[in-house]
Amino acid sequence: MTLVEYRSSSRFINGVMRSGSIGTPRNRMNGFPILCRPARKAARAVAPPAACAIHGGVEMVINLDVTLRDGGYRNNFDFPLDYARHHVRESVAAGMEWIEIGYRNGSFKPRPGIGRTGLGADDYIRALAEVVPPEHLCMIVHPKNITEEDLPRMYEAGARMVRFCLPSGAPEAGLALLAQAVDLGFTTTVNITRVSQLDGRRLAELAAMSGDSGADVVYLADSNGSMLPREVSRLVTLVRSVTDAAIGLHAHNNLGLALANAIAAVEAGATWIDSSVLGMGKGPGNLVTEQWLAYLGRRGRTEGHDLGRILALAHRMEGEFAEAAPSLPLPDLVLGHFDLSVEERAKLPQGRISDAFSAARELTATGAR
Report the candidate in 61, 47, 56, 48 with the shortest Cα–Cα distance to residue 303.
Answer: 61
Query: CA of 367: how far to CAs of 28, 168, 172, 261, 363, in Å?
Result: 17, 19, 28, 27, 6
The tens digit of pLDDT for each residue in 120-166 reads 999 999 999 999 999 999 999 999 999 999 999 999 999 999 999 99
- 3-state secondary structure at position 225: coil
Report the candidate in 223, 268, 278 with the shortest Cα–Cα distance to residue 246.
Answer: 268
Write down the pLDDT at residue 304: 86
User: Residue 30: pLDDT above 50?
Assistant: no
Phi first, then psi: what are they for 94, rounded to 5°? -85, -5
Task: Categorize the per-residue pLDDT at 24 as very low, low, confident or very high, splitting at 50, 70 and 90.
Answer: very low
- For residue 324, how far is the Cα from the chain centroid? 19
Write down the pLDDT at residue 7: 56
**Distant-in-sequence, close-in-space partners of 147: CB < 8 Å, separation ≥ 6:** none
Report the candidate in 259, 276, 9 with the shortest Cα–Cα distance to residue 117.
Answer: 276
Element (H, E) at 288: none
The tens digit of pLDDT for each residue in 194-209 reads 999 999 999 999 999 9
Report the candidate in 19, 18, 23 with the shortest Cα–Cα distance to residue 34.
Answer: 19
Write down the pLDDT at residue 344: 85
Write down the pLDDT at residue 40: 42
Write down the pLDDT at residue 213: 96
**Distance, CA of 88 to CA of 345 (rounded, Å):** 32
Write down the pLDDT at residue 183: 98
Mean pLDDT of 307-317: 98
CB 252 within 8 A of CB 225: yes
Task: Give pairs for 178-185: CB < 8 Å, separation 24+.
Answer: 178/210, 178/213, 178/214, 178/215, 179/213, 179/214, 180/148, 180/151, 181/151, 181/214, 182/213, 182/214, 184/151, 184/152, 184/155, 185/44, 185/155, 185/160
User: Residue 9: pLDDT above 60?
Assistant: no
**Distance, CA of 219 to CA of 165 (rounded, Å):** 9
Beta pairing, strands 187-192 & 161-166? parallel
**Distance, CA of 120 to CA of 300 (rounded, Å):** 36
Specify the length of the chain in residues. 369
- pTM value? 0.85
Write down the pLDDT at residue 39: 40
- H helix intervals, the chain: 3-8, 10-18, 67-70, 72-75, 81-93, 122-129, 150-157, 172-184, 200-212, 229-240, 258-268, 289-298, 307-320, 330-338, 353-366
3-state helix, strand, coil in the chain (%, to 5): 45, 10, 40
User: Residue 35: pLDDT above 60?
Assistant: no
The tens digit of pLDDT for each residue in 214-260 reads 999 999 999 999 999 999 999 999 999 999 999 999 999 999 999 99
Mean pLDDT of 16-38: 42
CB 188 within 8 A of CB 159: no
Write down the pLDDT at residue 41: 42
Write down the pLDDT at residue 13: 67
User: Residue 49: pLDDT above 70?
Assistant: no
pLDDT top residue among 291 and 39: 291
38-47, 107-116, 172-181: range with highest mean pLDDT: 172-181
Q: Mean pLDDT across the chain, nearest whole number?
A: 87
CATH topology of domain 55-324: TIM Barrel (3.20.20)
User: Residue 18: pLDDT above 60?
Assistant: no
CB 274 within 8 A of CB 98: no
User: Residue 80: pLDDT above 70?
Assistant: yes
Domain parsing of the chain, residue ranges: 55-324, 330-366
Beta bridge partners of 276: 288
Residues above pLDDT 90, as percent of the chain: 69
Query: CA of 239: how far to CAs of 46, 115, 213, in Å?
Result: 21, 35, 15
**Distance, CA of 293 to CA of 152 (rounded, Å):** 34
Write down the pLDDT at residue 312: 98
